[in-house]
Every structure is written in structure tokens, then in C-alpha cells.
Amino acid sequence: MSEAPGTASFFQPRILLPFALVTLIWGSTWLVIRDQVGSVPPGWSVTWRFVLAGIAMAALAAAKRQPLRLTRDALPLIAAMGVFQFSANFQFVYAAEQHLTSGIVAVLFAFLMVPNAVFARAFLGQPVTRGFVWGSVVALSGIALLLLHEYRVAPPEGRVLLGVALTVGGILGASIANVLQAGERARRQPMLALLAWSMLFGAAFNAGLSWLLYGPPQFEPRWGYAGGIAYLAILGSVVTFPLYFRLVRELGPGRAAYNSVLVPIIAMLLSTLFEGYRWKVFAVAGVAVALAGLFIALRARSPSR
């Protein structure tokens, strides 16, 4: 007997392994995104990412002999996914990194689970349990310690409040897309085809918006920049989004978004290896508390508990 949408147990290999893979890859993307925010306006970097990702996702669907044709009633969903997930989410995040360090943006994004749970309750009728609420409070307390540590170690310069506001915009864009992906209309569509067309729609929307804001297309002829686009498009998008949105459908948007608690921890571990990140008491305590909250919120098999 199949499980109801959003009620799958987290501690099953078919859930836990994709969750770990998505977390590891997205934890690494913050280092790459940081390099993308430079001579090329962020909007054009986002555009190139999803041009390549959309084409690669369509090629993956064809290789798996999955249909690329969608029903006409899928068009509003494609447009909404393209605008909220593959445009607003990333446009805001890339722009935020012009005002905040990538570590602070990554840490702030851990709050994705809050609007995900609220929107899933409001629009999908998925319950928010006491365990999830208490686990979230504990995990977010850990994230707050990490945020405090990041601010003390590398206080951002310039327009800090604007950076925070942009990050919140990215969080809301991602959250709306997560809830759309968990809905019944999205479940009726082939996953890879829906993602391919949504990415391509998002790329077209990004191109128009970027031309309006920054002028004609721009690209940096540097191997590091081109390699970063390829990494973010293939590993950071084509590999991860099908896995993540399957988790959204099986765990529910609130619990699936708990990867956003672990992503900044992974980002900091990688920063330790590649950027000389130094761990202090607040950082260690924040990681411990966030992991404890994660365990509390996800240990129940059903969100109705």
C-alpha cells in the first residue's frame, strides 16, 4: 500500500540517500556561486546556468525515454515554476551575495523550512506537528548561533539590510515553488519534462529581466567562470532538482526543506578546507544544536504525529 503524499519516513534509504546527496552538492554550490558574482551581472550568470540546465534536463528526459510533451494545463505551472524557482529564487540569492558574505546568505536560507511548512499547511492541508515545530525551533536556534558567528567573524560591509531583504525574497520564491511542486497538478506531470520546460522558461524570463536591468548579454571568457556555470547547471541543478522535488512530494515541503539546515554546515566545512574557515565556540555549538533539531523534527514516520 503506497504512502500518502508527504508522509514518508525520513530514515529509509530511498529518502535518506537522495537527501544526503542533494545536501552535499548544494552545500558546495555556495563556493561556486561566490565566484560567479564578479564582472558579470548576477542576472546573466543565472541566465546561463538555466539555459544549460534546461537543455541538459531535456536531454536527460530523452535519454530515459520520458516524454517531453506536457498537457496544456501544465503551462501555468511551468510559468510559475520558472519565475519563482528558476528566476526569483536565484536572482535574489546572487544579488544578495553582492551585499552579504556567502556564508551568511547560506545560513539565512536555512529558514526556508518555515514558509515551506506554513504554505504546505495553508494550500495543501499538510499538518504541522508539535515535533516538527519544536525541532524547527531547536534547529533555527542553532542556525542563529551560526549566523551570529558568521557576522562576528566576517561582518558584511555595505547595504546589509538590502542583502537580508534580497535573501528573504529568494527564500519566498523557492518556498512557493516547493509547494507548487508538491501539489496535485505537478504530480500528474512527468518530473523531468516539467523541470526542463520550467528551467527553460526561467532562463527566458531571466534573459529578459537581465537585459532590462543590466543591458545586453554578458559572459566572462574565463575557464573558472565557464566551469562554474557548468557545475551549477549540471550537478547543482540537473542532478539535484529531480531528487529534491521527489523528496518534496514524499516528505512534504516542510520536512524536505530541512536540507537547508545542513547546507550551510556543509558550506562551512568546505570553506574550512578551501578558504581557511576557522571554527569557534558559536559555530560548533550552532552545528550541534541544528543537528539535534533536525533529528527531533524528522524522527516521526508520519507528520500527523
pLDDT tens-place string over residues 199-218: 999 999 999 999 999 999 99
CA-based end-to-end distance of the chain: 20
| Angle formed at CA 173 by CA 94 and CA 225, multiple of 5 degrees | 25
Domain count, the chain: 1
Compute the residue count for the chain: 305
Average pLDDT over residues 158-176: 86
CA dist 52 and 239 (Å) reads 13
**Does 44 or 96 have the greater pLDDT score?**
44
**Does 304 or 41 have the greater pLDDT score?**
41
Closest C-alpha among 116, 26, 103, 174 to residue 297: 116
Burial of 13 (0-12, 13-18, 19+ CB in 10 A): exposed
Average pLDDT over residues 140-155: 77
CA dist 108 and 264 (Å) reads 9
CA dist 253 and 159 (Å) reads 31
Q: Is 2 part of any domain?
A: no
Q: Is 263 part of any domain?
A: yes
Note the pLDDT of residue 55. Answer: 97
Note the pLDDT of residue 115. Answer: 87
158 band by pLDDT with thresholds 50, 70 and 90: low
Which residues are CB-contacts of 63 (< 8 A; sequence separation ≥ 6)?
none
Q: Could you tell me the sign of the dihedral formed by the alpha carbons of 233, 238, 239, 241, in that order? A: positive
Q: What is the mean pLDDT of the chain?
A: 85
Q: Is 7 part of any domain?
A: no
Model confidence, pTM: 0.84
| pLDDT tens digits, one per residue of 3-45 | 555 566 667 888 889 999 999 999 889 888 888 877 799 999 9
Q: Is 303 part of any domain?
A: no
The residue segments making up the domain with residue 147 are 13-298
Amino acid at 259: N
Note the pLDDT of residue 305. Answer: 37
Q: Is 8 part of any domain?
A: no
Q: Is 292 part of any domain?
A: yes
Average pLDDT over residues 78-89: 95
Amino acid at 285: A
Q: Is 6 part of any domain?
A: no
Range with top average pLDDT, 43-57, 245-259, 267-281: 43-57
| Angle formed at CA 243 by CA 200 and CA 1, multiple of 5 degrees | 125
Residue 99 contacts residue 105 (beta carbons within 8 Å): no
Give alpha helix (H) positions in 101-129.
102-108, 113-119
Q: Is 1 part of any domain?
A: no
Amino acid at 59: A
Alpha carbon distances (Å) from 237 to 52, 95, 132, 230, 241:
10, 19, 28, 10, 5
303 band by pLDDT with thresholds 50, 70 and 90: very low
